Amino acid sequence: MGRFIALMIMIIPIIVAGYGIKQMRDTIFQISNSPYPNLTLQFAAGFVLFLAGLSFIGGFIFYRDRKNGKIAPRFQKRNK
C-alpha cells in the first residue's frame, strides 16, 4: 500500500515536468499556446515547471535513499 501511495504522489510532478517540456518544445517550434501572450514567457513558464517537477522528484528520491541509508556519507544527517 505504501508503494502505491508513493507512486500516486510521484505522478503529479511527472505530469508537471512533462507539461514544462511540452511548453519549451512548442516555443522552439514557434507554436503559441493560449494562456501565454508571447513565446518568451511561454518558454520561461515551461522551464520553471520542468525545474519544479524535476526538483520534487529528485528530493523525493534523495529523502527515500537517505532514510534507507543508501547515500554517500557526506550527505547523511549528522547527529548532534
The pTM score is 0.85
Give CA–CA dist 76/63, Å, rounded: 10
With a cut of 90, say whether residue 75 has pLDDT above it. no
Q: Is the pLDDT of residue 80 over 80?
A: no
Set of cell numbers at residue 45: 513558464
**How do residues 11-57 score in pLDDT, each as one tens digit?**
999 999 999 999 999 999 999 999 999 999 999 999 999 999 999 99
Structure confidence by residue, pLDDT tens digits, 57-72: 999 999 989 999 899 9
For residue 40, the one-letter residue type is T
- CB contact at 8 A, 66 and 77: yes
CA separation for the pair 21, 43 (Å, rounded): 9
Distance between CA atoms of residues 14 and 12, nearest Å: 5
CA nearest to 21, candidates 1, 64, 51, 41: 51
